[in-house]
Amino acid sequence: MTTKTYRLGVLPGDGIGPEIVPASVRIVDAALAAAGAGAVEWVDLPLGRAAIDEHGDAVPAATLEALADLDGWLLGPHDSAAYPEPHRSKLNPSGTIRKHFDLFANIRPAKALDDADAIVPGTDLVVVRENTQGFYADRSTYRGTGEYMPAPDVAIAMGIITRPAVERIARQAFELARRRRRKVTIVHKANVLKLTTGLFRDVCREVAADYPDVAVDDYHIDAMTVHLLRRAAEFDVLVTENMFGDILSDLTGEIAGSLGIAPSINASHDRAMAQAAHGSAPDIAGQDKANPTAMILSSAMLLEWLGGRHGDEALRDAAALIEKGVAATVQAGTKTADMGGTAGTREFAESVATTVERL
């Protein structure tokens, strides 16, 4: 058996990033060893506040070039609102990277770690959010879209949906559903936004024809919020456009227990970036208080994604070990302050790592 050595970037970010990202690296290494997977070569790259201080740029060109040679990376959170100008006014580091590498799929699972904390126990779903279009479409790519003010008291927003963009996100959702419970729910608002979200729904339905083994249904975004609150555990994969996905994934994260522990990856066909859903939490930075769960689980998602892309089962095993290690740690009562416990970042991460080694 040949084992590939994966090259993964480490971009710690701002605030609590330098605490939660290294903790995740340590746990990934432990899981790879425990699963008998090939090793990872970690590549440290400057980005964010540290990069401004050292290189005069929050997103150095050299970092983007280096990322292009990697299989994926762990991205810590950024506090770009606190950057000095001109850096503050630019697109933030995460957005810049997403755009540069066309990371069109934002995959955000909502899985209850501990049913006692979940609003809907048993929730285990994934929001697949289109990351490049809708009302959040990149202003420079699609001329004329976005927001503008034709008069001082009038603001107009426009959204864009294109068939190729819907096709590729829909395929991601159906492929994912095949590895899960084989159910996709399309979320739209085709009774009002008939052309844009209507096209989104219709193209998803067309793609569904290629996946006869996957059940499909669709809901309006407003009705969906109600169904989720009442019966989130019945849903598997939700696919939706950019803004709906942004809002819906915050809701599902909270339904599963806490948005603070929600992981995500942003992916294209050939690269993926692990990124916690939460921000840089500057108020608790450097105090060993941060909950590393979201970053750890995002790293596991990256391994799962790489495993799928390269047909490397050992990587998928490592991802599963991390998930189990986190769940076992939490269920044993080792929790950080935001989860109602007393463990610090290091203690929590160490508990996950040793659990992974013992599983």
Q: Does 49 bind ligand ATP (CB under 6 A)?
A: no
In the region spanning residues 8 to 37, those forming contacts with ligand ATP, defined by CB under 6 A, are 16
DSSP state letters, 266-312? EE-SS-EEEE-SS---GGGTTTT----HHHHHHHHHHHHHHHHHHT-
At 184 the three-state DSSP class reads strand
Q: Does 291 bind ligand ATP (CB under 6 A)?
A: yes
* Angle at the Cα of 337 from the Cα atoms of 279 and 118, rounded to 5 degrees: 80
* Angle at the Cα of 182 from the Cα atoms of 178 and 123, rounded to 5 degrees: 115
Binding residue for ligand ATP, selected from 338, 347, 350, 357, defined by CB under 6 A = 338
Q: Does 279 bind Mg ion (CB under 5 A)?
A: yes
Question: Are the C-beta atoms of residues 37 and 72 closer than 8 Å to each other?
Answer: no
Stretch that binds ligand ATP, among 49-57, 188-196, 282-290, 321-329 (CB under 6 A): 282-290
Active-site residue, from 71, 189, 211, 317: 189
304 closest CA partner among 168, 117, 164, 126: 126
Q: Rounded to an integer, what distance in angstroms lies between the CA atom of residue 98 and that of residue 131?
A: 8
Active-site residue, from 6, 83, 136, 219: 136
Q: Does 341 bind ligand ATP (CB under 6 A)?
A: no
Binding residue for ligand ATP, selected from 10, 169, 272, 290, defined by CB under 6 A = 290
Question: Are the C-beta atoms of residues 120 and 92 closer than 8 Å to each other?
Answer: no
Element (H, E) at 164: helix 163-178
Stretch that binds Mg ion, among 44-52, 104-112, 141-149, 275-283 (CB under 5 A): 275-283
217: annotated active-site residue: no
246: annotated active-site residue: yes
Q: Does 282 bind Mg ion (CB under 5 A)?
A: no
211: annotated active-site residue: no
Active-site residue, from 71, 236, 246, 312: 246
Q: Does 95 bind Mg ion (CB under 5 A)?
A: no
Binding residue for ligand ATP, selected from 98, 108, 278, 316, defined by CB under 6 A = 278
Structure tokens at 25: 């690296």
Helix, strand, coil abundance in the chain, percent, nearest 5: 45, 20, 35
Query: Site size for ligand ATP, by CB under 6 A?
Result: 13
Comparison of 19 and 241: residue with beta carbon closer to ligand ATP: 19
Comparison of 279 and 341: residue with beta carbon closer to Mg ion: 279
Q: Could you tell me which residues come within 8 angstroms of residue 231 by beta carbon, excluding any fewer than 6 positions away?
A: 120
Instruction: Enumerate the active-site residues.
Output: 136, 189, 222, 246, 250
Interface residues toward ligand ATP, by CB under 6 A:
16, 77, 260, 278-281, 283-284, 290-291, 294, 338
Interface residues toward Mg ion, by CB under 5 A:
279
